[in-house]
Amino acid sequence: MSLLEVKDLHVHYGVIEALKGVSIKVEPGQIVTLIGANGAGKTSLMHAISGIVKKTEGEIIFKDKSIFKSNAAHIVADGLVQVPEGRHVFPGLSVYENLMMGAYLRKDKKNLQDDLNKIYERFPILEKRKNQDASTLSGGEQQMLAMGRALMARPTLLLLDEPSMGLAPILVKEIFSIISDIQKGGTTILLVEQNARMALSIADYAYVLETGKVVLEGPAKELANSTEVQEAYLGGSAKK
């Protein structure tokens, strides 16, 4: 049974149709990636799944329950948490306070400190800067904070929207290796990326979105080798 299943999802912004019947599946334990150009509808899909944009029609099933009509808070409480594009950390709140916002809906106060320590272990820089205002962090640090904050919610499914955006190549590598680690820790991941090469290299399954529709899907390795993807998203013709 899929952990997340999106069926024939439509989203409109006014008269513009951003998603024109998208269907995707995310199996437990996998990293699934959505690739596509700007304006393909990747972020709209992420926002629709997280319940912060209105959906016109379709169905979204998470853990065998429909979350199509659920509000954002219920979806987070169910274990589906998003790290949004552009990090969206809270300026004016310290790094520690930002992390605690991730645990906003958690009732198990006892385990919070343990989880916080685990986050600090995974991102030592966050512990060093725990009392600093989040807005003083660099882009890479903010990305780590946004990921740490989401992990504080103990997600079953983590949505990552453009985690490598605007980061130096060395940081991009680091972020991707952290994503792999998170998957190994048992969290399923749905990853949106413009850096298709990196995304396909760590993903199990991939979807290609174009102007609001899925145009291609398959195991990530196969897509990485397909001529269409090579030409459109990997900047070159197939070598093999």
Partner 1 sequence: MSQFLQQVVNGLSLGSIYALVALGYTMVYGIIKLINFAHGDIYMIGAYTAFFVTTYLGMSFIPALLVCMIVCGILGVGIERIAYKPLRKAPRITALITAIGVSYVIEYTMQFFMGTSVKTYPKMLPDISWQIGAVKISYIQMVIFTVTIVLMVLLTFIIHKTKIGRAMRAVSADENGAKLMGISVDNTISITFLIGSALAGAAGMLVGLYYNSASPLMGMVPGLKAFVAAVFGGIGSIPGALVGGLFIGVAETMVVAYGSSLYRDAIVYIILIIVLIVKPAGLFGKNEREKV
The site for partner 1 (CB under 8 A) is made up of: 50, 52, 72-73, 75-77, 81-82, 84, 86, 88-93, 97, 100-102, 104-105, 135, 139, 142, 149, 153, 166
Least gap, CB of 70 to partner 1 (angstroms): 11
Closest CB to partner 1 among residues 97, 222:
97
Least gap, CB of 22 to partner 1 (angstroms): 20
> Per DSSP, what are the bridge partners of residue 19?
11
Closest CB to partner 1 among residues 106, 213:
106
Least gap, CB of 137 to partner 1 (angstroms): 8
Distance in angstroms (rounded) separating the CA atoms of residues 212 and 214: 7
Q: How many other C-beta atoms can be found within 10 angstroms of the C-beta atom of residue 112?
A: 14
Closest CB to partner 1 among residues 139, 218:
139
Distance in angstroms (rounded) separating the CA atoms of residues 136 and 158: 25
Closest CB to partner 1 among residues 150, 179:
150
Least gap, CB of 197 to partner 1 (angstroms): 22
Closest CB to partner 1 among residues 191, 214:
191
Distance in angstroms (rounded) separating the CA atoms of residues 174 and 229: 24
DSSP 67-128: -TT--HHHHHHHTEEEE-TT----TTSBHHHHHHHHTTT---GGGHHHHHHHHHHH-HHHHH
Distance in angstroms (rounded) separating the CA atoms of residues 31 and 153: 19
Least gap, CB of 52 to partner 1 (angstroms): 5
